[in-house]
Structure 1
Amino acid sequence: MEKTTKIIFPFDQSVVKELPMIDKSDIEKVLQTAHNLFEDQANWIPAYKRIEILEKAAFIMNDKSEELIHIAISEGGKPYKDSKAEILRAIKGVKLAAEHISQIKGEQIPMGLTEASLNRIAFTSKEPIGIVAAVSAFNHPLNLAVHQVVTAIAAGCPVIFKPASATPLSGLALADILKEAGLPSGWLQVVLCDNETSELLVTDPRVHFLSFIGSAKVGWYLKSKLAPGTRCALEHGGAAPVIVESDADFSEMIPDLVKGGFYHAGQVCVSVQKVYVNQEICDRFIEKLSEATKKLIVGNPFDKTTDVGSLISPKEVNRVEEWVNEAVAEGAKIITGGKRISDTTFQPTILFNPSEDSKVSTHEIFGPVVCIYPFTNRNEAIKKANALEVHFQAAVFTKNLDIALETAKKLNATAVMINDNTAFRVDWMPFGGRDASGLGMGGISYTINEMTREKLTVFKSKSL
């Protein structure tokens, strides 16, 4: 009997669609299709054609933007205004990928610098790395697909895409759009499968590159199982620490932190989570942040006024509730929120001074919870901010240039935002975690470069 997966609207748990899943016996055909395409250099998609396909895809996506917004909301539960922003970002991402194709190039390597290297000219060129296997996460179903699939196509690689089982519809819609835009058959295969089948796929020696977005536990496990020579990029999560100094501008900072903490109900890998606030302004900070947080509208993500929608599943609501209750039992004070609204939604919550040993302090919450910790010594606060093994994006709010630069230097992060929240991202910047938070850098152009490999050609001639 064929296995299926049900796509559920997270807000009311209604079934959106039921789709067939492949099993282990289907993986060989998928891999062989991609392998045959890559082995046949005569049929590689030339650069001009890849540009044409992606430009047309961006045009079609723009045309179907409302439909894509509807799909993303129905499977992921992200509110309308944020889903709309995601779809616009995804379209821009496709355009960025098309533009970057012209920058896939090598360089001349000087020869004749020694007697042994006379009569030679040498240059490098970039080639597609090979088959890309991409495993994705649920929280940005279309934009992540663009970052993993469209980049592979731009680099000239056949790609096998496994979307998150909860949110495959956006990836399937993107595949249809790319096909309509002229992508030849087999260059993108979308597979829905269980974890065991997924592992079989990514660890096959025919796979040249794994792009993984998801939990650190799964990412590092899969990396340990990869075939020799398979390169990978892993993007996990973090705890996004923020340092707030006493001279911070409240009018700029409060809306920024509310957005960064509660956007998509905190289900973002760089969502504001741990805020270390100078004791001198802590009371005022709590009052203002709480005031702004209480104004957030929690509700149906299809409603255009909704600020915070549902979590991806009731199981996640249960987990967030457990973690908040544990933090309170261990000494944290609830400033606002702290309770479930329904089986699928949780109040935007601010906790004051939870124990550094509570789960909300030591793990990525991935829910609508922000923790505030007062400090008197900034270096101590930075030390606590750096204490976990996850390091992704961080932030500091201050108008003092020296403090801003010193804090940015000392925070262990791949990116530090000054007077902006930790969740800031544009798709042409490098983006990724360090240490346990990941490997390699995302961002459209950075990913395309990682999906290519360099070849050196040395030409020997008496005429040179």
Structure 2
Amino acid sequence: MEQKMYINGEWVSTAEYAELKSPYTKEVIAKIPQATREHVSAAVEAAQRAQQAMTNLTALERANILYAIAKAFASKRLEAATIISRESSKPLKYALSEIDRTIETYRFAGDEAKRLIGEMIPMDAAKTGENRFAYTLEQPLGIIAAITPFNFPQNLVAHKVGPAIAAGNTIVLKPASQTPLSALFLAEIIDCTDLPKGAFNVVLGSGGIVGDALVESDKVKMITFTGSPAVGIQIKEKSGLKRLALELGSNSGLIVDRNINIEHVVRKCVTGAFSNQGQVCISLQRIYVMEEVFAAFVEEMIAQTQSLKIGSPLDETTDISAMIHDKEQQRAIQWITEAIAEGANLLYGGEVEDGVLLPTILANVDRKSKVSCQEVFAPIVSINKISSIEEGIEAINDSDYGLQAGIFTKDIQTAFTASKNLSVGGVIINDIPTYRVDQMPYGGVKQSGTGKEGLKYALQEMTETKLVIWNQEGGL
């Protein structure tokens, strides 16, 4: 039951351990080592020593390492998914989907490792550029510190580890405290590849110790973080001149136009709002429905939500299970209570059964209610009536966040208008804002963060562009 950290290609014990409990059963499933600052320093130093070996790998060698990781996940798909379900209570059906995406993500990273090229610079386009030949090289930054969340403990890790390896960087990974077993499972897989020892390290423990030590280390060249805006701001303040990629909060909104297939759209919305208990960065949180179809939409939303199965995350038929922590569940209930006090109507859910917060539907929610203006990160969705598409766009934009938004419409001009005027990093036409595939550029504006994920785009964040100029004039 006692686990070990992975530093410099070795499994390391610590003096202190913390109990890891299942969010659903509350049973202790493992004892997790707690790193000290000395452990973090050891991991960083191992990564630094391994950097030259990583730099010396060919593009093909890096690609093959990433393909080997993907192949290992494919052969251990159920085992990897079961670990996710046990430690995070993600229903197994969604955990299996996450592993499928993780496999794709490492494969995409392997492909991008072979496409990492610079460009030619037309020096003679300038008056003084005659007889000059120039090009750029994309070179690894060095040590990448990856700080990752609990909600996608393999795929969001892959979005940091994959491009880091593809670019020739070394990595120190600090996973979320609730999902360390997935990170250690990844370490077991990587340990069996040809990745140089020390190039990938896993340190476990609190953000106050492990996270701060990574952020403050002068040897770390980049921090890639997914989590809350509050922590992201702290990282930015402490990180100095390190490169940052911060994927932060969201309260994703959706506009539903008239003359759409209500049953089809609602089916998408139920998935977008309630998968993984709403604990998804782009979970559908706010729905703005044209008044002509509002009543029918709400009726269908309640009916389809009622059909969701509540239960153990290890049951493949389960749709909704326990949230990650009891304190998060209590916060969600408090926000529901506040929204009702501020004028919202509770249409479904809003209570706990057998330790699980039921999927909750609210209507007529005030924009300033926390369930609307903050990131709810729970199985709660708000549905409000609008009289025009412009009203819906304005409501979505009235937010501190801007990760992704969506619109369902049959009108092409309406779709173009929404795509231009929604203040978000990604606009999804005729689908929910929860939609994501792993090669697309993914990242937000405002307090949703900085930088882009998606393998090609993450590689651009994780490399340094070097300019090389040749003077071809004679006379030397």
TM over 0.5: yes
Alignment partner, residue 322 of structure 1: 334
2:85 paired residue among 73, 78, 91: 73
Alignment partner, residue 461 of structure 2: 450
Instruction: Return the TM-score normalized by structure 1.
Output: 0.96
Matched, 1:408 2:422: no
Q: What root-mean-square deviation, in Å, do the aligned CA atoms of Structure 1 and Structure 2 show?
A: 1.6
Return the letter of the residue paired with 1:8.
Answer: K
SS of 2:134's partner is: strand
Alignment partner, residue 209 of structure 1: 222
Alignment partner, residue 58 of structure 1: 70
Return the letter of the residue paired with 1:440.
Answer: G
Alignment partner, residue 357 of structure 1: 368
Worse-matched range after superposition: 396-405 or 25-34: 25-34
* Deviation (angstroms), 1:43: 6.1
Alignment partner, residue 11 of structure 2: none
Matched, 1:241 2:228: no
Worse-matched range after superposition: 328-337 or 257-266: 328-337
Matched, 1:170 2:182: yes
* Deviation (angstroms), 1:149: 1.1
Alignment partner, residue 24 of structure 1: 37
Matches for 1:118-133 after TM superposition, within 5 Å:
118-133=130-145
Percent identity between matched residues is 35
* Residues 304 and 131 of structure 1, relative CA distance in 2, 3 Å threshold: same
Distance 1:101 1:42 in 2: 13
* Deviation (angstroms), 1:408: 2.2
1:282 paired residue among 294, 297, 305: 294
Contact 2:50 2:197 in 1 (8 A): no
Alignment partner, residue 345 of structure 2: 333
Worse-matched range after superposition: 271-280 or 106-115: 106-115
Q: C-alpha offsets along residues 62-81 of structure 1, whole Å, 9 cap, x if unaligned?
A: 11111101111111111111
Q: C-alpha offsets along residues 263-302 of structure 1, whole Å, 9 cap, x if unaligned?
A: 1010001111111111111111110111001100011011
SS of 1:424's partner is: coil
SS of 2:300's partner is: helix
* Deviation (angstroms), 1:381: 2.6
Contact 2:89 2:321 in 1 (8 A): yes
Return the letter of the residue paired with 2:328.
Answer: E
* Deviation (angstroms), 1:461: 3.4
Contact 1:205 1:227 in 2 (8 A): no
* Deviation (angstroms), 1:251: 2.9
Distance 1:249 1:416 in 2: 20
* Deviation (angstroms), 1:413: 1.0
Structure 2 residue runs of 5 or longer lacking an equivalent are: 1-13
Matches for 1:107-118 after TM superposition, within 5 Å:
107-114=119-126, 116-118=128-130
* Deviation (angstroms), 1:313: 1.0
Matched, 1:259 2:271: yes
Distance 1:274 1:370 in 2: 6
* Residues 375 and 111 of structure 1, relative CA distance in 2, 3 Å threshold: closer
* Deviation (angstroms), 1:19: 1.5
Q: Following superposition, which runs of at least 4 residues in structure 1 exceed 6 angstroms of deviation?
A: none
Contact 1:5 1:165 in 2 (8 A): no
Distance 1:151 1:168 in 2: 21
Q: Aligned residue pairs: how many?
A: 461
1:383 paired residue among 378, 394, 410: 394
Contact 2:407 2:430 in 1 (8 A): yes
SS of 1:458's partner is: strand
1:134 paired residue among 123, 141, 146: 146
Distance 1:291 1:126 in 2: 53
* Deviation (angstroms), 1:116: 3.5
Contact 2:39 2:203 in 1 (8 A): no
Return the letter of the residue paired with 1:406.
Answer: T
* Residues 196 and 257 of structure 1, relative CA distance in 2, 3 Å threshold: same
